[in-house]
Amino acid sequence: MRDFLNEPPIKVGREHATSSSASFRPFLLAVIFCLLAGLLVYLDHQGSLMPARSVLQQVVTPITGRLLALRDGVSDVVTAPRMGTDLQARITTLEQANSQLNEALLRLKQAEVENAFLRQQLAIQRDRPWHLLGAEVMVRSPDAGRRVIMLARGTDDGLRPGMAVVGQLADGPAALVGIIESVGPHAAEVLLITDIGSQVSGRIIHAGQAAVGLVQGQWQKGSRLHLDQIERSMPVASGDPVVTAGLTAALGLPFDLATVPAEIPIGTVEQVGVAEQYQHAELRPFVDPDQVRYVWVILSQDA
């Protein structure tokens, strides 16, 4: 009984009051916030918040800018690998396109060169009864004792030993530069007229008269030629032209030179001399064989 009496009294009413106060507090806060919001809206309409808004904007704007920059930086870091891959792919594509353009440009330049040589060939054929085959000079003999060139043409193109080879420089006639000495399926060796072993029949022309002699190479004298065995009765002067006589086969050389046609320009007389019963002359060739890069082989001529 005493224990029961010693128990603290039950405060029912006070706990109920505390519970009611706690449940009323959210409602009160909501009302306060609503009133505050309404007050702010009212003051904003009245223009009373403009100074405060300006100050707040000045404070918030730099922070917003930094946050946006940080966002962009993070975005760049995330997308950088992808952008690097795309950029490398574009570079590769551009390099391939540039390579193709360079190849096309090279082919265009080669075509322009070939067209120029073809026009030159057509001009020669208009003036001469020759059927020509153009050929690029591939190699020049490294042997100082022989003057030969190699052509990128051969028997498959209709070439054979003894055919005449002509060249042409600017402002000059198409003139003899050599004779095919040996030939294979796709290449031919040409003995130049300036070689000391070259011998071609030549005809010198002076004032309506002509005489036949033997033209030999003298490359050691500045790529000059020597015309020998000219009759002493034949008048000869400096500047007289010399052409092929078409009699080279009669010289009895190891290969048939009958395919060298007559009237191919060779050169002009520079000096004249006399030895015993014959005259001789030093000639300057119309075309220096050491300067040609492209030549034409006379395959045949019109009768």
Confirm if 274 and 234 have CB atoms less than 8 A apart. Answer: no
How many domains does the chain contain in total? 2
User: What tokens were used for 237?
Assistant: 């002067």
pLDDT at 78 over 90: no
170 and 283 in a single domain? The answer is: yes
Q: Are residues 15 and 143 in the same domain?
A: no
DSSP reduced 3-state for 206: strand
195 touches 215 (CB < 8 A): no
In sequence order, the 6+-apart residues with CB closer than 8 A to the CB of 205 are 240, 241, 242, 243
| Per-residue H/E/C for 218-237 | EHHHCCEEEEEEEECCCCCC
Q: What is the pLDDT of residues 188-197, one digit of tens each?
A: 999 999 999 8
- DSSP track, 113-158: HHHHHHHHHHHHHHHS-EEEEEEEEEEE---TT--EEEES--GGGT
Task: Give the global pTM.
Answer: 0.63
Q: Domain check: are 135 and 254 in the same one? A: yes
Domain hosting 146: range is 131-301
The CATH code of the domain that includes 240 is 2.40.10.350
Q: 130: how many CB neighbours lie within 10 A of its CB?
A: 20
Residue 87 lies in a domain: no
pLDDT of residue 8: 54
pLDDT digits (tens, 9 = 90+) for 131-165: 999 999 988 876 667 889 999 999 999 999 999 99
Residue 68 lies in a domain: no
How many of the other CB atoms lie within 10 Å of CB of 53? 11
> Is 277 domain-assigned?
yes
